[in-house]
Copies of this chain bind each other. A is one copy, B any other.
């Protein structure tokens, strides 16, 4: 029972005995073009009967829109990256769906590919706007997009003209560190992604502030920059190398996300450290697995879905030409205490 060729607005017009302009007006509730109640009713009925729905591409061409926003997310490494991105997808999807937009995943393996993809998105008008993650210093994506395609950054940038949605990462790391200090820790390690990422910079700053305010020294040798990005494997190697390097081991470690923390747990076990007795561990994100690790992971919850929801909502407003104020939103974080930090016995 295949339905025959697609119903177009012309078919509806013909059957209803009106012009296509009238059909369009009725469907768009376009009251700049008044339509009598009777005509309106008739059109609606025919629309119903024929199952007519305007084609998105046709509307798009006419209106100069794609009704699509792009999410530029890393696909590497394999096995896959932080669950953070998946929460973000869900949040962005919520916002786009509410406004009748669609979401397209712009996946890339490395920064070069990401830039090429964004360039293509601009020149072929593949999407109406993009959401960018994890900005770095002198981020080449920003000048590429600026003035060419609306975009919102999940994270922080130096440029005040750019729309951003971010956590207060300084505060988040500070709270986690203070929690460890309150538990008596003085040698707290920090496993972080490269400092060129603002997120890493901000969190190290929060960690530093907490130490300073508690009168504890900020020791560079307790920091490890991972080789790569997120992931348990990466965290494992980073923390292992730290444990092997230090003469006096740390009594606690802060990891920049839960997958890295998972790797820390593994490295600690391998080196004979009991968590939390010999070593307290705190991660970030409150990923799905974190409550179910052994021991369950204390973590700073990042509301990635909320973050992405606001970002997508903001982006859609920009696309539709609304005035968007404020241009920078900060979403709070939350320390979730479980067993891995030793506060619960």
Which residues of A283-316 have CB atoms within 8 Å of chain B's CB atoms? 286-289, 291-294, 305
| B contact residues around A24 at 8 Å (CB) | none
Residue of B60, B93, B125, B148 touching A105 (CB-CB under 8 A): B93
Question: What's the minimum C-beta distance from A111 to chain B, rounded to whole angstroms?
Answer: 16
Whole-angstrom distance between the alpha carbons of A231 and B83 in the complex? 13
How many residues of chain A are within 8 Å of chain B by beta carbon?
A: 56
Residue of B93, B123, B236 touching A107 (CB-CB under 8 A): B93
Contact (A294, B292) CB under 8 Å given A102-B104, A107-B90: no
| B contact residues around A66 at 8 Å (CB) | 56-57
Of the listed stretches A72-80, A159-167, A171-179, A210-218, chain B binds A72-80
Contact, CB under 8 Å: A288 / B56: no
Contact, CB under 8 Å: B54 / A57: no
Residue A265 at the chain B interface, CB threshold 8 Å: yes
Contact (A294, B291) CB under 8 Å given A80-B83, A80-B87, A107-B90: no
Residue A263 at the chain B interface, CB threshold 8 Å: yes
Contact, CB under 8 Å: B102 / A103: no
Question: What's the minimum C-beta distance from A204 to chain B, rounded to whole angstroms?
Answer: 24
Whole-angstrom distance between the alpha carbons of A85 and B237 in the complex? 27
Question: What's the minimum C-beta distance from A70 to chain B, rounded to whole angstroms?
Answer: 8
Question: What's the minimum C-beta distance from A58 to chain B, rounded to whole angstroms?
Answer: 6
Which residues of A39-77 have CB atoms within 8 Å of chain B's CB atoms? 51, 53-58, 60-61, 66, 68, 75
Residues of A within 8 A of B (CB): 1-3, 6, 51, 53-58, 60-61, 66, 68, 75, 78-80, 83, 86-87, 89-90, 93, 97, 102-105, 107, 120, 123-126, 147-148, 231-232, 236, 259, 262-263, 265-266, 269, 286-289, 291-294, 305
18 sampled A-B residue pairs with Cβ under 8 A: A53-B120, A56-B125, A57-B66, A61-B61, A75-B90, A78-B90, A80-B86, A83-B83, A89-B105, A89-B107, A93-B105, A97-B107, A105-B105, A232-B291, A236-B292, A262-B292, A263-B292, A293-B293
Additional 14 contacts, C-beta under 8 A, given A83-B86, A93-B107:
A3-B147, A51-B123, A56-B124, A68-B104, A75-B90, A80-B83, A80-B86, A89-B105, A97-B107, A103-B107, A104-B105, A232-B288, A259-B289, A289-B289
